[in-house]
Amino acid sequence: MTDQSPPFLSIGEPDLTETEIDAVIAILKKGWLTRGEECQRFEKDFCEKVQASHALAVSSCTAALHLALLIHNVGPGDEVILPSLTFASTGHTIVHCGATPVFAEIDPRTYCVDPAHVESLINPKTKAIVAVHYAGHPVDLGSLRRIANEHDLVLIEDAAHALGASFDGEPIGSGKSVACFSFYTNKNITTAEGGMLTVPTEDLLARAERLSLHGLDRDAWKRFADGKKWRYSIEEIGYKYNANDLLAALGRAQLSRLDEMQAKRRRVWDGYVDRLNGDERFILPPEEGRIEHARHLFVIRLTEESGIARDDLIDHLRAQRIGATVHYDPLHLHPAYRDRFGTTEGMLPVTEGVAKNILSVPIHPKMSEEDVERVVGALKDFS
Ligand SMILES: Cc1ncc(COP(=O)(O)O)c(C=O)c1O
């Protein structure tokens, strides 16, 4: 008997071609594997793509977030405002610095942090705001920049989902910003694990680079390039967050295909919108003229009137071999945050209300029309 069940459709998958394979093999043949010239080329290409002035390739977006806080001297006694509808890293890196995370509400339409609520939480201890471009929908950068300027705060963008997005025509990660990108395996480009930090000044870049490699003044490539001089100086207690040339080769190849992969994501996205629009049980992701969405996640919200239990719908999709999941159970409701910071259910009614009713369905460049049909069919036939 043959297995007639359709292949499992995962929520996100990398799109890898001969371009990526050739690029990685070329580095293997060359033999310099750790941070070297290829990382520098990746940083240059990335800057061109998002119109950034300075970029540092690192081992993950988590590393980039941690470095972004450290280069602004966020530490014990400081408060940092962030949304709760996010991944562990956004909060954990604040805690790693010894600072206190303060959770702000989200906008119930975009699921990005609500600038008015952010402003209401500011007090003399507030040092920074970490804003998440949720699912690839840019935050309201205009309002958040105004608030940060008026209160002399640092604005850090968690752009893990946002490569390819723009706000008022300005690519996320461009010159004015401190932004942190992820190249984890399901992201809009992948290096398996990896990330990029973009910063507006040379000084911030130099500090981030130093902290990303144990606080050394020169990495191995610079020492090698300088006639193999072995000496280095440890300027401060840093971390091991550097990228490497293998990762960078994969990243450059993926970046060269970003527009093509974004176009494929858009086809999947439009397929969902065309087929699900008008079904009153579902609220679809918002999109308006001012923003370009990165289309990293396709998040559907169930209306209260639908009467659908979100978890039952996820089980139904999974039974049909369709990956569906939730981004995210709010951070403030997890034991690690409740226990340490005394956060409680009920403190963020908008976030909690949204989080209960959302689910993410598959979106990635390798999905076909039939895949989209399958997901839509499974959503529609749930009762
Ligand atoms: C919103 C957000 N921030 C940060 C991260 C961390 O990214 P990384 O796995 O590259 O450290 C993720 C990972 O998925 C994320 O979704």
Among 85, 89, 134, 137, name the best residue to mutate to test ligand 1's pocket (greatest count of ligand atoms within 8 A of Cβ).
89
Distance in angstroms (rounded) separating the CA atoms of residues 184 and 72: 25
Ligand 1 atom having least distance to the Cα of 134: 1
Is any atom of ligand 1 closer than 6 Å to the C-beta of 177?
no
Asked about 125 being catalytic, the answer comes back as: no
Closest CA to 56 of 214, 267, 264, 200: 200
Question: How far, in Å, from the CA of 106 to the mean position of ligand 1?
Answer: 18
User: How far, in Å, is the centroid of ligand 1 from the Cα of 19?
Assistant: 25
Looking from the CA of residue 187, the nearest atom of ligand 1 is 14
Mutate to test the pocket of ligand 1, among 184, 241, 331 (most ligand atoms within 8 A of CB): 184
Per DSSP, the three-state class of 230 is coil
Closest residue by Cα to residue 164 from 134, 188, 139:
188
Any atom of ligand 1 within 6 Å of the Cβ of 188: no
Q: What is the pLDDT of residue 2?
A: 57
Whole-number Å distance between alpha carbons of 286 and 301 = 11
pLDDT at residue 4 in the model: 74
Rounded-to-10 torsion of CA 43, 48, 54, 58? -30
Residue nearest to atom 16 of ligand 1 (CA): 87
Separation of 161 CA from ligand 1 center, angstroms? 8
Residue 59 Cα to ligand 1 midpoint, Å, equals: 12
CB 157 less than 6 A from any atom of ligand 1: no
> How far, in Å, CA of 126 to CA of 292, rounded?
30
Measured distance CA(89)–CA(156) in Å, rounded: 13
Burial of 3 (0-12, 13-18, 19+ CB in 10 A): exposed
Assess whether the C-beta atom of 87 lies below 6 angstroms from ligand 1.
yes
Residue 37, judged by CB atoms within 10 A of its CB (0-12, 13-18, 19+), counts as: middle
For residue 86, which atom of ligand 1 is closest to its CA? Answer: 1
pLDDT, residue 288, reads 79
Label the pairing between strands 170-171 and 298-302.
unpaired
pLDDT, residue 176, reads: 81
Residues of the chain with pLDDT under 70: 1-3, 228
- Rounded-to-integer distance, Cα 52 and Cα 45, Å: 10
Based on its alpha-carbon atoms, the radius of gyration of the chain, rounded to whole angstroms, reads 21
62 lines ligand 1 (CB under 6 A): yes
CA-to-CA dists, residue 192 to 37, 61, 89, 183, angstroms: 20, 12, 17, 7
Instruction: Output the DSSP codes for 232-243.
Output: --B-S---B-B-
Q: Report the alpha-carbon distance of residue 242 to residue 244 in Å, rounded.
A: 7
Query: pTM for this one?
Result: 0.97
Catalytic residue among 49, 127, 187, 264: 187
Q: Which domains does the chain have, with CATH numbers?
A: 18-257 (3.40.640.10), 259-380 (3.90.1150.10)
| Gap from CA of 225 to ligand 1 centroid (Å) | 33
